[in-house]
Amino acid sequence: MTRDVAVLGAGMHPWGKWGRPFVEYGTTAARAALADAGVAWGDVGSVVGADTVRGGYPGYVAGATFARALGWQGARVTSVYAACASGAQAIAAARAQILAGLADVVLVVGADAAPKGFFRPAGGDRPDDPDWLRFRLLGATNPTYFGLYARRRMAVHGDTPEDFALVKVKNAAMGALNPFARYRKRVTAEEVAASAVVADPLRLLDICATSDGGAALVLSSLDFARRHGAAHPVRIRAVSTVTPRFPSTVLDLPDIATDPALAVRPSDESFRASIARVAYEEAGLGPEDLSVAEVYDLSTALELQWYEDLGLCGEGEGAKLLREGATAPGGRTPVNTSGGLASFGEAVPAQAIAQVCELTLQLRGAAGDRQIAGARVGISANQGLFGHGSAVVVVR
């Protein structure tokens, strides 16, 4: 029995700093996805909302919030939160409902209205919250974490700031072609090097911004898709939402200490590598099958890490792969054809959904000037705080 579900519709609200409620961004994206699918709102049997912690109570019950904004019509409702993996968790919940026969058509929505500057923990004192502790005890803001990870790659693998800058150059060139991107301007390596230092060795143009934005998908059973006239839709074949394994020998914030490895042998694979592996195994595919990938470039250095975690190259070979042009359009596996977070910024609940929107366009052959010829298989990858894995395999 197939475990595929159809992607009938994809919709987005442009990323930026618009100063309006997150609900507006989500409903705009939802209506665009419904229109793209050719599905009436009344035909949706379930709504799954990816939560935002910045929208007050409506943000904590995003599924119901979006259902209400679109007009109560009796659909099932689910709300999920998994930090930056919230969108993938929402897709996983929607897929499970379809495969279980609980709904033929499910609307998945995520949207955020981000603060100025970097993200910080929700208010209040929470000494049992690792995210709160890393800010309070270490002063380790997100850019600090990105800088530490970049330093580690430089020390362990020999990466250079010039390598990191090339990631930004590549992604900005694609973002310049994306009408939903916040930053639509090409940049040069020299401009990256001339931008202000934020967290050494990373500069302003190495780090993604915080943004407002929204994204939505209309998913359905394959039977519904055929009845609806979509005989060969883009399909979600696998969703990986795995957790890390004990012990962890590489510090990965918000944790502020590694797990002891005295009694238990460390795993041979990293957490991020396990996210991709589980997705590949479920899909019955491998990195060699990929046409395109969307990865979580919180910083330029982290994109290089994802190349290795996705199996596009060996450990420490990410920068070499980039310099060879393998991850650019025309290369073996183009990465972040949307422009990535470098061009969009973070709108946390929408990010993983937006990645699948881009993969859907690519596999339909509808990505315009960003189109990768003959795209048939794509993967998205990111992770959320506290060990939330996130990878989605999409096929045509």
Task: Give the model confidence (pLDDT) of 234-258 as tens digits.
Answer: 999 999 999 998 888 887 777 777 7
Whether the CB-CB separation of 310 and 276 falls below 8 Å is answered with: yes
Residues 139 and 285 in one domain: yes
Cα dihedral 166, 115, 294, 240 sign: positive
Predicted confidence at residue 386, as pLDDT, reads: 81
Asked whether residue 54 is domain-assigned, the answer is: yes
87-128: pLDDT as tens digits: 999 999 999 999 999 999 999 999 999 988 878 777 788 888
Residues 160 and 66 in one domain: no
Asked whether residue 230 is domain-assigned, the answer is: yes
Q: Alpha-carbon dihedral of residues 26, 31, 33, 39, nearest 10 degrees?
A: 140
Cα dihedral 314, 319, 320, 322 sign: positive
Residue with tokens 């930053």: 183
What average pLDDT does the segment 181-200 reach?
97
Whether the CB-CB separation of 157 and 319 falls below 8 Å is answered with: yes
Predicted confidence at residue 331, as pLDDT, reads: 98
Asked whether residue 123 is domain-assigned, the answer is: no
Predicted confidence at residue 200, as pLDDT, reads: 95
Mean pLDDT score across all residues of the chain: 95
Residues 166 and 34 in one domain: no
What average pLDDT does the segment 180-197 reach?
98
54-63: pLDDT as tens digits: 889 999 999 9
Stated as kind and residue range, the H or E segment containing 171 is helix 161-175
What average pLDDT does the segment 260-289 reach?
91
Extended beta strands in 159-274, E state: 197-199, 202-203, 212-220, 234-240
Extended beta strands in the chain, E state: 5-16, 46-50, 76-80, 105-112, 197-199, 202-203, 212-220, 234-240, 292-295, 377-384, 388-395
Asked whether residue 177 is domain-assigned, the answer is: yes
Whether residue 138 is predicted with pLDDT greater than 90 in this model: the reply is: no
Residues 244 and 218 in one domain: no
Residues 231 and 331 in one domain: no
Predicted confidence at residue 1, as pLDDT, reads: 56
| Domains held by the chain: number | 2
354-395: pLDDT as tens digits: 999 999 999 999 999 999 999 999 999 999 988 899 999 999
Predicted confidence at residue 257, as pLDDT, reads: 79
Residues 32 and 10 in one domain: yes
Query: How far, in Å, CA of 286 to CA of 281, rounded?
Result: 8
276-315: pLDDT as tens digits: 999 999 999 999 999 999 999 999 999 999 999 999 999 9
pLDDT interval class at 266 (50, 70, 90): confident
Asked whether residue 79 is domain-assigned, the answer is: yes
Query: How far, in Å, CA of 295 to CA of 355, rounded?
Result: 8
Whether residue 224 is predicted with pLDDT greater than 90 in this model: the reply is: yes
pLDDT interval class at 131 (50, 70, 90): confident
- Using a 10 angstrom Cβ sphere, with 0-12 exposed, 13-18 middle and 19 or more buried, the burial of residue 247 is middle
Residues 59 and 187 in one domain: no
3-state SS class at 74: coil
Encoded tokens for 1: 């029995």
Encoded tokens for 318: 């990410």
307-351: pLDDT as tens digits: 999 999 999 999 999 999 999 999 999 999 999 999 999 999 999
Q: Enumerate long-range contacts of 251-259, CB under 8 Å, 24 or more apart.
A: 251/148, 253/134, 253/140, 253/145, 253/148, 254/130, 254/131, 254/133, 254/134, 254/385, 254/386, 255/130, 255/134, 256/130, 256/133, 256/134, 256/137, 256/138, 256/140
Residues 271 and 333 in one domain: yes
Helices (H) and strands (E) in the chain, counts: 14, 11
Q: In the sheet that 76-80 helps form, which strands lie side by side, from edge to edge?
A: 76-80, 46-50, 105-112, 212-220, 5-16, 234-240, 388-395, 377-384, 292-295
Whether residue 187 is predicted with pLDDT greater than 80 in this model: the reply is: yes
What average pLDDT does the segment 195-223 reach?
97
Q: Structural domain of residue 153, as residue ranges?
A: 130-207+237-395
